[in-house]
A and B are shown apart, each in its own frame.
Chain A
Amino acid sequence: MTTFLGKMKYALVLLFVLLAANFLVAQALKQHVDNPGQTAMDPVPDDINHTHTGSRTQFLPAVPGGKAVVTGNGINYHGGPVLKGNPVPIYLIFYGNWAGSGSNTAATVSLVQHFISTLGGSAIENVATTYGDTTGNVSGNVSLGGTAFVSSSKNLTDRSLQTTVSNVITSGALPRDANGVYMVLTSSNINETSGFCTQYCGFHTHATLGGADIKYAFVGNPDRCPSGCEAQTTGPNSPATGVGGADGMINVMSHEQFEAITDPDLNAWFDTSGQEDSDKCNFNFGTVTTCVTGGICTPAAVSVGSKFNQTFGGNNWTLQQQWENANGGLCVQHL
């Protein structure tokens, strides 16, 4: 009898030790799980193209000193951080089929990369310098940190969107950078089922991925729903009439990156109704100019009289205004 009890105790202790060891290993796995629903043992997807394409970093002079938190301009500060990098890296993740037709082409990819590469220091981006946190102001400078491609025909959900960002980082296609903004750009055959085209044209948020606070945004190709997400069906850079996706996408990207920089963790700058700076000027373009022959708009844009309101990087752009956190607050195209 005593022998049996002794053996039982020994067996139970051994079982406990084995299971406890397994438990501790599981906790370590949890902390390395970047992808909801997956484990750290999942293989890296084969369809992620390890492409590092970054523009040469341009460092602009630091914004002149001044009060970092200025209030009373129709938008309120809630204590959280802003992104103050000089520049703030923008990482692009092209998801879907970007070797297709219409606006789902390499030309759009190049135009988007060019836009991000030349946006830093532009008049419209300088409006962001009116925002800051307790340690400093937004620099108004951004750069193209890198590009990755995820070939897929699957629609996205909020969960799989986050997984996509996480996978691209985990695979090494893009670096893990808590000071940057990752933008998932989908081709027009891809839907984001939480409400792209019915509720929103894009959104930004953040998540802890691999222990880092990663800021990311979704922007879909608005050729999927031109009446909802495009100011005009032929933009100043359209290759053909009715192919306004690139310019439309760039406008929404301008909106999202501005907000991801001034309200990255959703606890910095927004007004009493919850609107962030770009929200307050959504689809508000201000004074616009018509594309004419002899300018730098495309022939297609000239043929239909497309409008633009910004010029930089050798291109015309149609970008919504941004809320200036000064002079009482208003939508502006420049400071």
Chain B
Amino acid sequence: MRVPLIMRVIPVLAVTVLLAAQEPWKPPLTSRIKTSTRQVVLFTNLETQMLQAVQKKNQAALTAMLTDDFAIDMPNADRMAGEDWVDSVMSKDFALEKFGVHQMSVIDLGNAAVVKYERLQ
């Protein structure tokens, strides 16, 4: 006699569910409150000052923070010289309403540093 389909499916489902219950449970890690390195503190402050100068359209303060060879490289675009970048963010067409500097990391190379961070605006 043929066994009804449901009689064949139920045990398979039961075994599947109960086997899944055997997986070791890994509790989620909670957030960490990090003590930033000296370089992270330094560069966070510098980036914040620079972005505040952009926000307030303070060209003098902004250019005082940039070196003569400052340049901006963006994906799929030509390198933008510092002067051109300053002109663009100081124009009436651009407004930086809010910003945030997060997840900064700094690799100290001695005479230089590689700074990575997320900027939200």
User: Is A198 interfacial (CB 8 A cutoff)?
Assistant: yes
**Given A1-B1, A26-B21: A279 and B35 interface contact (C-beta under 8 Å):** yes
Q: A37 to B41, alpha carbons, bound, how many Å? A: 35
B121 to chain A, nearest CB (A): 16
Q: A19 to B21, alpha carbons, bound, how many Å? A: 10
Give the residues in chain B near A194, CB-CB below 8 Å. Answer: 32
User: Is B31 interfacial (CB 8 A cutoff)?
Assistant: yes
- The proximity string for B residues 2-38 relative to A, scoring 1 for CB distances below 8 Å and 0 otherwise, is 0100010011001100100110111101111111111
25 CB < 8 A contacts A-B: A1-B1, A19-B14, A33-B24, A37-B26, A38-B24, A158-B29, A195-B105, A199-B36, A199-B103, A200-B35, A200-B40, A201-B37, A202-B35, A203-B32, A203-B33, A205-B33, A208-B27, A225-B108, A227-B108, A228-B40, A252-B35, A256-B35, A266-B33, A270-B33, A279-B33
Contact A205 B31 (CB under 8 A): yes
User: Is B106 interfacial (CB 8 A cutoff)?
Assistant: yes
User: Is A78 interfacial (CB 8 A cutoff)?
Assistant: no
User: Is B104 interfacial (CB 8 A cutoff)?
Assistant: yes
Contact B15 A19 (CB under 8 A): yes
**Given A4-B1, A227-B108, A283-B38: A23 and B33 interface contact (C-beta under 8 Å):** no
- The proximity string for A residues 28-52 relative to B, scoring 1 for CB distances below 8 Å and 0 otherwise, is 0010010011110000000000000
Give the residues in chain A near B107, CB-CB below 8 Å. Answer: 198
Contact A228 B30 (CB under 8 A): no
Give the residues in chain A near B10, CB-CB below 8 Å. Answer: 12
Give the residues in chain B near A259, CB-CB below 8 Å. Answer: 33
Interface class of chain B by DSSP: mixed
User: Is A312 interfacial (CB 8 A cutoff)?
Assistant: no
Within 8 A of B (CB), among A257-271: 259, 263, 266, 270
Give the residues in chain B near A39, CB-CB below 8 Å. Answer: 24
Give the residues in chain B near A4, CB-CB below 8 Å. Answer: 1
Q: How many residues of B contact A (CB 8 A)?
A: 33
Contact B33 A282 (CB under 8 A): no
Q: A26 to B20, alpha carbons, bound, how many Å? A: 10
User: Is B63 interfacial (CB 8 A cutoff)?
Assistant: no
Q: A8 to B4, alpha carbons, bound, how many Å? A: 11
Chain B residue with the shortest CB-CB distance to A284: B41
Q: Which 6 A-B pairs have the closest CB atoms?
A: A228-B37, A200-B34, A36-B26, A19-B18, A203-B32, A198-B105
> Which of A30, A201, A279 lies in contact with B25, CB distance below 8 A?
A30
Q: A6 to B113, alpha carbons, bound, how many Å? A: 76
Among the interface residues B14, B29, B37, B41, which one has the most CB atoms of the partner chain A within 10 A?
Answer: B37
Contact B35 A197 (CB under 8 A): no
User: Is A16 interfacial (CB 8 A cutoff)?
Assistant: yes
Within 8 A of B (CB), among A161-202: 162, 194-195, 197-202
Contact A203 B108 (CB under 8 A): no
Chain A residue with the shortest CB-CB distance to B113: A227
> Which of B18, B24, B27, B35 lies in contact with A20, CB distance below 8 A?
B18
- Given contacts A19-B18, A23-B21, list 18 more A-B pairs with CB under 8 A: A8-B7, A16-B14, A19-B14, A20-B18, A26-B21, A194-B32, A199-B104, A199-B105, A200-B40, A201-B36, A201-B37, A202-B34, A202-B35, A205-B29, A205-B31, A263-B33, A279-B36, A282-B35
Among the interface residues B1, B14, B25, B105, which one has the most CB atoms of the partner chain A within 10 A?
Answer: B25
